Amino acid sequence: MIAMEYALNHSDRIIAVVDMCPQANISEIFLGGNTTGSRNLNDILKKGPSRRSIGGYFDNRIAKPHEKLGKESAYFTKVVDFNEQLTR
């Protein structure tokens, strides 16, 4: 929630939030809250590459520790695409 407050007070910046919680509570809230956020999160996690989450990134990174993955940005999600209450 601190990230949300920071974003409200710094609208000229792009804010990245990394949800490291296995339960993904912050992701669910940002993706629409309650049932909607959970549904959106499940849909995102089903898409490639190998789970679009920090866990999915680590899976790929550990499997290929000496290779450039070249697709790190594929693990980012623009929550505004799922939650119209966010302005960007």
- pLDDT digit string (tens) for 13-23? 888 888 888 78
Using pLDDT thresholds of 50, 70 and 90, give the confidence band for residue 75.
confident
Q: Tell me the pLDDT of the chain averaged across its residues.
A: 82
- pTM for the whole structure: 0.71
Q: E strands within 4-87?
A: none
Higher pLDDT, 37 or 53: 37
- Residue 7 pLDDT > 80: yes
Gap between the Cα atoms of 86 and 72, Å rounded: 24
Mean local confidence (pLDDT), 33-38: 89
